[in-house]
Structures are given as C-alpha cells and as structure tokens.
Amino acid sequence: MLQSTGRHRRTRTLSVAAAVAVAAGAGGVHLGFSEDGASAAAPTKTVTVSSTAQLEAAVKAATAGTVIQVRGGTYYPTRTLKSSVNGTSSARITLKAAAGAKVRIDGSKLPDGSWLAGIYGDYWTVANITWQNSPAQGFVATSSVGGVFKNLVTAHNGDSGFTLRGDGTTNNLVRNLDSYGNYDPSGHGQNADGIAVKFGSGTGNKITGARLYNNSDDGLDLWQFSSPVTIEHSWAYGNGGNRWKDPDFEGNGNGFKLGGGGASVAHVVTHNAAWNNTKHGFTENSNTGAMSLNRNTAYANAGSGYYFATGKARLGKNLAVRNKGGLSKLGPSTVSAGNNWDKGIATPALKSTKASTAYGARKPNGSLPTTTFLTTGSTTIGSTMN
C-alpha cells in the first residue's frame, strides 16, 4: 500500500477509448503525472495504430486527452473517420503521424458521397497527415472550437480539400496546409476549393502558411461565412484549370474568394499571393463588408488582380503585375491607398518570375519554402512571400 503524502489519491478507470485501443492491440495509456508525482491537469491516453481497423476504432472511441499516433503507411478506411467528442483546452484530442512517419489516409474505398474525415468536436489537434482520394470532401471540421490543424495535405478529393463550416466555428488555426488537385466531377468542378470556410459563423479563425493550388474551383472560398476570418502568408495558384478534361467544366478559378451569398464581413487578408489563376487573384465576390487587404501580391491572373467593385474594402500597399483583366477593378466605396495602381506609387521590380522554388518542399517545421519568386525587396508594398 502506498504511504500517504497528504494529498488525496484519485482513482482512475480506463476510458472506453483506452479500452478499445488496448483491446485492438493499438497501444497503451499514460496517466500524465508531473515530475513531482502530482497528477497533471488531465490524463493523456496515447494510442498507437498501425492498421485501418485500429485507426477507425481509435477515432471513434477517442475522449478528452487521447493522443492517436499513426504509424507510417497508407490507410484505407471504409467509412468516414468521424467524431463528435470534445477535448478541452487542457486535454486536447490529438490525431497525428508518429514521429518521422509519412501517413496517408486514402478514401478510395469509401462509398460514393462520403467525406474522408468529419470532426464535430472541440479542441482537436490534427497534424502531419495526408488526406487524399475521397469521393467527396477530404477533411471537414463542423462547428468546432479551438481546433489546430497543421502540416496537413488534402489532395485529389472529390470536393473541397479542407473545410471549416457551421455556426460556432471559433478560434480554429489552419497552419501550413497544402491543398491541391481537388475536383468534384458531379458538379463539373464548380465546388472543389483548396480550403473552404463556408456556411457558418464564429470569430478567431486563422489560415496561415497555406498553398492552395490546381483545384477545380477556387484556392480559398469564404462563401456565406458571416464572421471575420484572418488569412495570412498563404499562396493560391493555378486554380480553375480544366485538368480533368471535363467537357462541361464549370470551375471558377479565383485565388482568394472572400465572401458571397449575402455576407457582409470584414475579413483580414495580409501577405498573401495569387498567381496564374483562371479568374481573379483576390475578389470580394459581392461581400460588402469593410475587408482589409494589405501587402498582398497578384500576378498573371486571367482576371483582375483585385476585384472589389461593390463593397467597402480597404486596400493598402498591395501589388498587382501582369494580370490580364487589369491590375484592379474597384468600386466607389472601396478605399485604396499605397497600392501600385494608385497615383504616385511606383511598381517595384520583381526579383524573380520563376515559380519553381515556391513549388518546392516545405521546411522541416512545415513552413513555406524559401523563394525569391514575386519578391521585390520592398518593405512598403507587396507580399514578402514567406
């Protein structure tokens, strides 16, 4: 029997999540004691999975504090990986690749119309996993609070690669996402975005360090999301091209579509770049809100660099070069100052127009690759491309 130390001992019972994981041979349970022997704020249950069945069971049974580590390989779930369980700010639910592992979760065996992943809970961390080949959406978080989604890839899915949606979508961080090649054949390409923040509300959501490219519709789409979203240090390129040889193709091809569907929202868009999209680089899409766009770059888009014809957007220190539809198209309520189309503002020379380094591998921590593409050296105008 343990000798009393003056502290109350708390009896712990293995959760359903841990019991399922252990029964599946998937791992163990770590109770989360601090170095002095006192109990930590919440137990951490670490589950290591190495088969599709174990992965499905672990996600289904996760509870607050569960850490699901996925060993390297490709996993083929036969049903949507789905959970409505909440973590807490001190006991998050984590789904991640094991250290050094390359993990692909592939939806090619899912029934038609299925999402690959659907998270309906709060305080999830999902990291270092590729979500690919879903018949519909790749990864969807609905009405989630406090999510951290980092170093993910969402590729070649049958609708948008990554989606935040629903009311109560609050304080989520999407960091270092690569989302590409997503295409919805049933809609002839008109719905599949790199990242979609749609049909919902909630403050504090941020997207940073994303590369959104070669999707059938838009790079980023904020359709009918009624709360401000912050988008920073992200790149959208090559969207809207008919790479699928669809004779009835309907993809739009904006880099950053910042509203629509009656929304009037003041999104904040800083240090992003859009190039080689088949429509506009940046567009309000009829969002009448007082959006703020600062230090962005639009290059060689088929439409306008910046299309803000109806709203009250405030554009400052943005750069537009070689866009076929013109540098910008602005309405009478738009505030424009310090941009290279404004009177007295010179267009700085670009250091490079070769994008190969921007397409390269990310840094070990998942951040964007170093590039001189579209950089100018200016400290007053255009994206810094980092």
Q: Which long-range contacts (CB under 8 A, 24 or more apart) does 109-117 make?
A: 109/76, 109/77, 109/78, 110/77, 110/78, 110/79, 110/80, 110/134, 110/135, 111/79, 111/135, 114/79, 114/80, 115/80, 115/139, 115/140, 116/77, 116/80, 116/81, 116/157, 117/80, 117/81, 117/82
β strands within 33-77, DSSP E: 45-49, 66-70, 73-75
Burial class (CB in 10 A: 0-12, 13-18, 19+), 261: middle
pLDDT for res 28: 39
Among all residues, which ones are annotated catalytic? 257
* Phi, psi values for residue 65, rounded to 5°: 95, -10
Burial class (CB in 10 A: 0-12, 13-18, 19+), 262: exposed
Cβ atoms of 97 and 128 within 8 Å: the answer is yes
Give the 3-state secondary structure of residue 59: helix
Domain 68-350 architecture = 3 Solenoid (2.160)
Give the 3-state secondary structure of residue 126: strand
Work out the widest C-alpha separation in the chain, in whole angstroms: 82
The residue type of 27 is G
CA geometry: angle 238, 240, 243, nearest 5 deg: 85
Residues of the chain with pLDDT under 50: 1-41
pLDDT for res 263: 87
pLDDT for res 2: 32
DSSP 8-state assignment for residue 350: P
DSSP 8-state assignment for residue 373: B
Give residue-wise pLDDT tens across range 240-290. Answer: 999 999 999 999 999 999 999 998 999 999 999 999 999 999 999 999 999
Residue 5: CB atoms within 10 Å: 9
Cβ atoms of 250 and 242 within 8 Å: the answer is no
The residue type of 227 is S
pLDDT for res 43: 65
Give the 3-state secondary structure of residue 23: helix
Question: Which pair of tokens denotes residue 344?
Answer: 């007295």
Question: Which pair of tokens denotes residue 264?
Answer: 């009037």
Q: What is the pTM of this model?
A: 0.90
pLDDT for res 72: 98
* Per-residue buried b or exposed e for 64-78, using 16+ beta carbons within 10 Å of the residue's own CB: bbbbbbbeeeebebe
Contacts of 292 (CB under 8 A, 6+ apart): 266, 267, 268, 269, 270, 313, 314, 316
Domain boundaries, given as residue ranges, for the chain: 68-350
pLDDT for res 1: 30
Question: Which pair of tokens denotes residue 292?
Answer: 């703020």
